[in-house]
Structure 1
């Protein structure tokens, strides 16, 4: 695992792995169900990903969107590729909605940026107990 994946709490935050991608619960939740979709390689630029990683990405995005729709009932979804602190290729996956959403064992979270850009600075930081509960709640939706 690259350092970026570890920095986002792997393995405690692991939701699902593919050959070239890893989905992690984002420990700071600007909206409920926010994830990190991280390339498993050492690539530090999007253009440096392997052709196999690019080929797998549509399948991965399909699973992510279907699972988050089932869990969160989002209205829009944002993919942010920031890479300002953590250097390896990764996207912040932010489900967007008007109002509030909650999960078993997790806090109720308002999308304070709706309907504009996500308010990343308003993120709710999950406790270790909440990370475990939310990860366990999310994993089954990503399996099927």
Structure 2
């Protein structure tokens, strides 16, 4: 795994893994169910990914969006490819909704709705909350996260 993936807490934050991609729970939650979708390669530019990674991305995003729509019921899902601090190809996946969402005592409001995501107002989760949310999301995943 590349340094960007490790910085986002891999393997402890892993929700699902594919041949070319990993889905991680975002350590700071601007909205409930915020994720990191990261390429496993060392590419630092999107067009430098192998063709197989682009092909697999269709399956990964179908799974990801299906899970978030069922578990979180967002009005929209934002894909942010920032890569300013963390150089390897990755997206911040932010489910968007008016008001708040919660699971097992983990409540997160979308402070930026209906504008841009308020990343600076993200809720930091405890290790126990991370584990609860990861297990819950894996339970929705078509492959069980593996």
Question: Aligning the two structures, in what range does the TM-score lie when normalised by the shorter sequence?
Answer: over 0.9
Write the mapping of 1:79-94 to structure 2, written as runs, cut at 5 A. 79-94=79-94
Normalising by structure 1, report the TM-score. Answer: 0.97
User: Displacement of 1:143 after TM fit?
Assistant: 2.9
**Which runs of at least 4 in structure 1 moved beyond 6 Å after TM superposition?**
none
Tell me the secondary structure at the aligned position of residue 79 of structure 1: strand
Please state if 1:71 is matched with 2:89: no
Q: Which runs of 5+ in 2 are unaligned?
A: none
In 1, Cα distance between the equivalents of 2:126 and 2:83? Answer: 24
1:120 maps to: 119
User: Displacement of 1:103 after TM fit?
Assistant: 1.2
Tell me the secondary structure at the aligned position of residue 141 of structure 2: helix
User: Displacement of 1:87 after TM fit?
Assistant: 0.9
1:24 maps to: 24
In 2, Cα distance between the equivalents of 1:24 and 1:136? Answer: 12
Please state if 1:52 is matched with 2:52: yes
Normalising by structure 2, report the TM-score. Answer: 0.95
1:8 maps to: 8
In 1, Cα distance between the equivalents of 2:68 and 2:109? Answer: 16
What are the Cα deviations for residues 47-99 of structure 1, in whole angstroms up to 9, with x where unaligned?
11000001111111000000011110011000000011111100000000001
User: Displacement of 1:107 after TM fit?
Assistant: 2.0
What are the Cα deviations for residues 88-130 of structure 1, in whole angstroms up to 9, with x where unaligned?
10000000000110112x5210001001110000000111111
Please state if 1:129 is matched with 2:128: yes
RMSD: 0.9
